Amino acid sequence: MSIVTVQLGQCGNQIGFEVFDALFRDSHCSQGLCSKRDNEAYQASCRERFFREEENGVPVARAVLVDMEPKVINQTLSKAAQSGRWNYGQHTSFCQKQGSGNNWAYGYSVHGPKHEESIMNLIQTEVEKCDSLSGFFIIMSMAGGTGSGLGAFVTQKLQDQYSSSLKMNQIIWPYGTGEVIVQNYNSILTLSHLYRSSDALLIHENDAVHKICAKRMNIKQISFRDLNRVLAHQLGSVFQPTYSEDSSFHYRRNPLDSETVGQACLMPRIFVWSLSATNLSFYPQTGDLMEHLVPHPEFKMLGVRNIPQMSAASLAYSTFTWAGLLKHLRQMLISSAKMEEGINWQVRPPLSGLPPIGKASAHKEHHFNTSLANLVVLRGREVHSADVEGFKDPALYTSWLEPVDAFSVWKTQRAFDKYEKSAALVSNSQLLVKPLDMIVGKAWNMFSSKAFIHQYTKFGMEEEDFLDSFALLEQVVASYGSLGP
């Protein structure tokens, strides 16, 4: 089942490139720590999902690149072509000469309708090249103009045209002290529109990724490229193939073995693989991720955590145990920590009937993060011995959902990106409530003094739209708040 990626704006295109690169590099990594057969199946699954075959054998990413300025797209395309290992398709990009000026309304109301047909045609072409479409992965930022406004528009059109396909939006949460003055307006408009038309919002905060780069990766001069690589690493650890918990650890014998193809049969090789790839119970579908994490329409925000994260130099000298990794990951979840350093170990799950230790009113930092649903992905050596019982504790979850429904775990022996063991957590919990609340508050302050509103209203937006967005996001904050005891 294939995923079509739509890279929107400067941010979306740069990140998209790093994601494909990370996925490709990992799938061709020789230090997989698993059998050759498993490795081949892993590689093939990854390729079918994110790449397609071309005649010259170089895999082509299943992606559509959209930006209003040509500079970043050209850079992205040339970087991919230079690597020689994988490439973007020939006619899969769309750009114009003029940007959106960080104006959400310009992206949504002007660029969107004007270029709707060209962009949707590009996507349609890419979809037709998939044997089976699992869904769309849309990478965009929230604070700019193109990624946010045009991204919201495109997601809405995808909802109209491909209503039965899944959609996940990868959203970059801007720095708290960002450079764009109206980034809060752009953010709330984006979030509220996406909440209506997307299935899942996978959110990465620039501040958090920046800290990981500084503290864990020991990078002195942090560039956007470093941030994007960390991000791509986190996404890759979620999206690469795995076994799901209940499927068996056997899989069909490799049908590409030429002796099994009968002489009377005239089918070409590629077709045989397509038929059996869909029978592979090797990896769970994207639908599984959605079904386990975001079925409720009010709770669509997902956060990603991945440990361990360290520079390649330190990696060579480190060893890990599953017990240690999982303990840290669990505490990161409970205390809403962004990385594995500086975790607040004081926060504990509430005992049933008693209020949580460190009441929220007095110590905001000790607030216990109640989860709605969690997914843990474990990759690496001896993964069967990993004990995830700590995540099945009912105290971690909201009262109306049992841990058996709320928690799922995916495992594979195959190591990811040279990390001997790595654990990722995709969490639908109160992790993002505080940042969201802050952005809504700041935007409201600006709105109540009508600052910069004319920039938006002159492109067809109305104050009503702003009010609707505020109302929806307040509702989201309230819903997530009500999860806790």
Q: Cβ of residue 479: shortest distance to other proteins, in angstroms?
A: 9
Phi first, then psi: give them for residue 6, nearest 5 degrees.
-115, 115
Give the three-class secondary structure for 254.
coil
Q: Cβ of residue 484: shortest distance to other proteins, in angstroms?
A: 14
CB nearer to other proteins: pick between 278 and 311 = 278
Q: Cβ of residue 8: shortest distance to other proteins, in angstroms?
A: 23
C-alpha to C-alpha distances, 212 to 219, 339, 359, 421, 453, nearest whole angstrom: 9, 7, 29, 18, 35
SS3 letters for 136-176? EEEEEECCCCHHHHHHHHHHHHHHHHCCCCEEEEEEEECCC
CB atoms under 10 Å from CB of 285, counted, come to 16
CB nearer to other proteins: pick between 98 and 482 = 482
CB nearer to other proteins: pick between 295 and 481 = 295
Decide if 236 contacts 417 (C-beta within 8 A).
yes
CB atoms under 10 Å from CB of 364, counted, come to 9
Would strands 63-67 and 243-244 be described as parallel, antiparallel, or unpaired?
unpaired
Q: Cβ of residue 471: shortest distance to other proteins, in angstroms?
A: 9
* Structure letter (DSSP) for residue 416: B
Q: Cβ of residue 210: shortest distance to other proteins, in angstroms?
A: 34
Q: Cβ of residue 397: shortest distance to other proteins, in angstroms?
A: 12
By the 10 Å C-beta count (0-12 exposed, 13-18 middle, 19+ buried), 15 is classed as buried
Q: Provide the binding-site residues for other proteins, judged by CB under 8 A.
A: 1, 131-134, 164-166, 196, 260-262, 264-268, 271, 274-275, 278, 285, 287, 290-291, 294-298, 399-401, 405
* Structure letter (DSSP) for residue 146: I
Cα–Cα–Cα angle for 464, 470, 476, nearest 5°? 140
Phi first, then psi: give them for residue 437, nearest 5 degrees.
-60, -40
CB nearer to other proteins: pick between 7 and 192 = 192
CB atoms under 10 Å from CB of 475, counted, come to 13
Q: Cβ of residue 294: shortest distance to other proteins, in angstroms?
A: 7
Decide if 9 contacts 64 (C-beta within 8 A).
no
CB nearer to other proteins: pick between 270 and 312 = 270
CB nearer to other proteins: pick between 390 and 403 = 403
Q: Cβ of residue 265: shortest distance to other proteins, in angstroms?
A: 5
CB nearer to other proteins: pick between 166 and 231 = 166
CA–CA dist 41, 191 (Å, integer): 37
CA–CA dist 300, 428 (Å, integer): 7
CB nearer to other proteins: pick between 219 and 401 = 401
